[in-house]
Amino acid sequence: MERVQFQQEQMLAELKDLVDKEIFTPAETKAIMKKRTLFETALVRRVAKKADFLRYAAYEMGLEQLRRKRVQRLKIATGPATVSDYALVRRQFNIFEHALRRFKSDVALWIQYIELAKREGAHTLAGRVVARAIQMHPNVPGLYVLAANHELVGGSPSSARTLLQRGLRLCGDSVEDAGGMSWDLWRPRARNARTRIMWTKTAWRQKVRRRGRRSWRAALLRR
C-alpha cells in the first residue's frame, strides 16, 4: 500500500492547482482523489488485470478532456505552464508504462500507448515507445507501419523506407501479427498516403528480388 500512499501524495499539488484555477471544485477534486485511490489499490493487487489499467487510463483521459473543455469555456488565459496543465496526460503515460511492465507480450497495449503519445503530441515519446515495441515484437507488421508513419511525420522518409524494408524482410508478406492481421490488411491502416505509396514500392521491389533469386537458383539446379 506504500505505492498507493505515494501516488496520493503526488496528486496533491495537481489537484490544488485545479482548484486554484477554478477548473474543478474542492468537492470534485476530493471525488477524483477517491476514484484514483480505488484504481491504484486495484493495481497493487498480486494479480492486477489488464482491464484495471485500461479503466484507469480511460478515466484519466476523460478527466483531461473535461479539463480542456472547462479551460476553453472559462477562457482561462494561457501563461506559463503549471502542474495541472500536464499532470493528467503524464499520469496516462505512467499508467501505460506500469501496464507494459506486466503485459509486455500484449501488442495491442503497445499500440494503444503509441497512439496515445501521438494524439497528445508527444512525438519523441511515441518514437521511443514504438522502438521498444519493435524490439520486443520484431515479427509484428503493424508496428513497422506505425514506426514508418512516425518517421515520415518527422521528415525522415529514408528512415521510414528502411523500417518498411526491415519489416518486410523479417515478417514476410503473409505473416500475421499478434492481432491476426497480415501485411495486406495493415496497408490501408497506414494513415499517411506517402507511407502507403512507399509500402507498395518497397514490397514490390522485395518481391522482384525474391523472384530473381528463385529463378537464379532454379537455373543452377537445372545444370
The residue among 86, 103, 120 that closes a domain is: 103
3-state SS, residue 45: coil
The answer to whether residues 164 and 202 touch, using CB atoms and an 8 Å cutoff, is yes
**35 phi/psi in degrees, rounded to 5:** -65, -45
The Cα angle at residue 146 between residues 141 and 147, in degrees rounded to 5: 95
Check whether residue 117 and residue 212 sit in a common domain.
Answer: yes
Mean pLDDT of the chain: 82
193 against 189, higher pLDDT: 189
Check whether residue 69 and residue 139 sit in a common domain.
Answer: no
Check whether residue 133 and residue 146 sit in a common domain.
Answer: yes
Give the per-residue pLDDT at 175.
47
Check whether residue 95 and residue 124 sit in a common domain.
Answer: no
Tally the C-alpha atoms within 13 A of residue 36's C-alpha that lie toward its C-beta.
25
- The answer on pLDDT for 135 being more than 50 is yes
Q: Tell me, what CATH number does 212's domain have?
A: 1.25.40
Confidence of residue 223 (pLDDT cuts 50, 70, 90): very low
The residue among 103, 134, 162 that closes a domain is: 103
Check whether residue 64 and residue 18 sit in a common domain.
Answer: yes
Domain count, the chain: 2
Mean pLDDT across the stretch 182-195? 52
Give the per-residue pLDDT at 167.
81
Check whether residue 112 and residue 74 sit in a common domain.
Answer: no
Task: List all residues 6 or more positions away from 91 whose beta carbon is below 8 Å from its beta carbon.
Answer: 60
Global confidence as pTM: 0.78
Check whether residue 181 and residue 221 sit in a common domain.
Answer: yes
Instruction: Give me 182's grid cell.
Output: 497480415
Check whether residue 127 and residue 184 sit in a common domain.
Answer: yes
Give the per-residue pLDDT at 71.
94
Distance of CA 141 to the CA centre of its chain: 15
Check whether residue 81 and residue 136 sit in a common domain.
Answer: no
pLDDT digits (tens, 9 = 90+) for 136-178: 999 888 888 888 888 888 888 888 888 888 887 777 654 455 4
The residue among 103, 133, 166 that closes a domain is: 103
Surface-to-core class of residue 190, CB atoms within 10 Å of its CB (0-12 exposed, 13-18 middle, 19+ buried): buried
- The answer on pLDDT for 192 being more than 80 is no
Check whether residue 216 and residue 109 sit in a common domain.
Answer: yes
Mean pLDDT across the stretch 78-96? 93
Check whether residue 88 and residue 113 sit in a common domain.
Answer: no
13 against 214, higher pLDDT: 13
Percentage of residues of the chain with pLDDT beyond 90: 50
**Least trusted range by pLDDT, from 110-124, 152-166, 169-183, 205-219:** 205-219
Range of the domain at 46: 1-103
Check whether residue 177 and residue 210 sit in a common domain.
Answer: yes
Task: List all residues 6 or more positions away from 183 whose beta carbon is below 8 Å from its beta carbon.
Answer: 141, 168, 171, 172, 173, 174, 175, 203
Enumerate helices (H) and strands (E) in the chain, giving the number of each.
Answer: 10, 0
pLDDT digits (tens, 9 = 90+) for 28-54: 999 999 999 999 999 988 788 999 999
Instruction: Give me 29's grid cell.
Output: 477534486
